[in-house]
Amino acid sequence: MVNIGEVLSRYDGVARAKHIAAAGVSDFQLKAAMASRAVSRVSRGVYAVPGADPQLISIRSLPAEPACVTAAQFQGLWVLEAPSQPHVALTHSRSYPGFVCHRSSAPPTLMDTVVHSLRCLPEPDGLIIAESAVVLKGLPLTGLRQRLNGRNDARERRIVAGIVRLARFLLRRAGFHVESQVNIPGMGHLDLMVDGRLGIETDGAGFHMDRTSFEEDRRRWNVTTRLGIPTLIVSYPLLKNHPQEFIAMVRDALHRLSAAA
Q: What is the DSSP letter of 171?
A: H
For the chain, what percent of residues have pLDDT higher than 70? Answer: 91
- What does the pLDDT average to over 84-88? 96
Give the chain's end-to-end CA distance (angstroms, integer). 65
Highest mean pLDDT among 107-116, 185-194, 203-212: 107-116
Mean pLDDT of 80-87: 92
**What single DSSP character describes residue 109?**
P
At residue 180, the 3 state secondary structure works out as strand
pLDDT in tens, 205-236: 443 445 565 666 677 778 877 788 888 888 76
8 A C-beta contact, residue 30 and residue 5: no
pTM for this predicted structure:
0.62
Rounded CA-CA distance 223/52 in Å is: 48
Most confident of 18-22, 178-182, 183-187: 18-22
Which helix or strand (DSSP H or E) is residue 201 part of?
strand 198-201
- Across 17-151, the runs of DSSP E, i.e. the strands, are 40-43, 46-48, 65-66, 87-90, 100-103
Q: What is the pLDDT of residues 1-41, one digit of tens each?
A: 789 999 999 999 999 999 999 999 999 999 999 999 999 99
- What Rg value do the Cα atoms of the chain yield, rounded? 23
Helix (H) or strand (E) holding 188: strand 188-194
Least reliable range by pLDDT among 121-130, 158-167, 236-245: 158-167
Judged by average pLDDT, the poorest of 45-54, 61-70, 160-169 is 160-169
Predicted local confidence at residue 239, as pLDDT = 78
Percent of the chain, pLDDT > 90? 46
Q: Tell me the sheet residues that pair with 40.
A: 48
Q: How many residues does the chain have?
A: 261
pLDDT band at 204 (very low <50, low <70, confident <90, very high): very low
CATH superfamily label, 161-260: VSR Endonuclease (3.40.960.10)
Instruction: Kindly indicate the confidence band of residue 90, based on its pLDDT and cuts at 50, 70 and 90.
Output: very high
Identify the pLDDT of residue 57.
97
Q: Provide the residue ranges of all domains of the chain, joining segments of one domain with +.
A: 1-51, 161-260
The mean pLDDT value of the chain amounts to 85
